[in-house]
Chain A
Amino acid sequence: MGEYDTHTDLEEEKVWIAASKLDIGGFEPLYKHYYDEIYRFIYRRTDSQVLAEDLCANTFYKALRNISKYEFRGKPFGHWLYRIAGNEVNRHYRKRRPLFIIDHQKVSEPLGIERSETHDIEKKLRFVFTQLSETDIWFIELKYFEGLTFKELSIRLDQGESAVKMRHYRLLDKMKTLLQERYEED
């Protein structure tokens, strides 16, 4: 899966990218490294395994077709793949309403939503996610649904580890405040 422990992994990725530019076979490590993560990213936005497979195949096809134009700038290759995958999903939803699956089991605890209030979880999570920007949703997705550590997140987002931690706590704080304001008044 697309997880990083150190910057040396990025160096390894640089070698994979160079190999992919020379031969299709060279793309295999990148494909295997990122496939599941990109697949789940698309699945969360389609709620269909068949559609997710199609869009995922399109994503990797476009990535490989254009890899000769790709320039390594210190960011993980996944960053580019996420952008292509996002465009593929947007293209699919051009005339329809986009969707996103929130895995309540992974996110309700950090938000302080207790399991006893199961019937309210859906309502609360739907409300709080509606208030977030796309980049905030992606951040939550990587942190809680993909389970990336702060270190991995800092490499993935090309930000310092402390900046990522700060962003995380601010975002959680914002979500908790939104929930309190909305539901503690009722």
Chain B
Amino acid sequence: MRKTDFRVKRTEKSIRGNSDFGRFKSHYEQRRKREARSKLMIMAIGIILLTVLILFFAQARQPQTANPTNELKFENVELKL
């Protein structure tokens, strides 16, 4: 366990921060909005990645057919000599 650094000094009687509730309220609302936006972004990125992944695997699972374009067919060809 880390040792605490004890400092001995006189603390001011009137030590107080800025307890303005209006400031806290606007800070809270902004932070909540920011958090909601980043949550939404993460969800959107997740959905896109998932879709890409699903498409990729669906493609990979399709049976490979023999390449028909290279075959030459002479079924209805009449040879006249």
Residues of A within 8 A of B7 (CB): 47, 99-102
Binds A, one of B22-30, B50-58, B59-67, B73-81: B22-30
Give the Cβ gap from A76 to chain B, nearest Cβ, in Å: 18
User: Are A31 and B8 within 8 A (Cβ)?
Assistant: no
B39 at the interface (CB under 8 A from A): no
In chain A, what residue has the closest Cβ to B7? A101
Chain A residues near B (Cβ < 8 Å): 24-25, 27-28, 31-32, 35-36, 39-40, 43-44, 47, 49, 52-53, 56-57, 60-61, 64-65, 93, 97-105, 121-122, 125-126, 129-130, 145
User: Are A101 and B2 within 8 A (Cβ)?
Assistant: no
A28 and B19 CA atoms in complex are apart in Å by 10
| Residues from 1 to 35 in B contacting A, C-beta threshold 8 Å | 2-11, 15-19, 21, 24-25, 27-29, 31-32
Residues of A within 8 A of B15 (CB): 39-40, 43, 49
A18 and B21 CA atoms in complex are apart in Å by 18
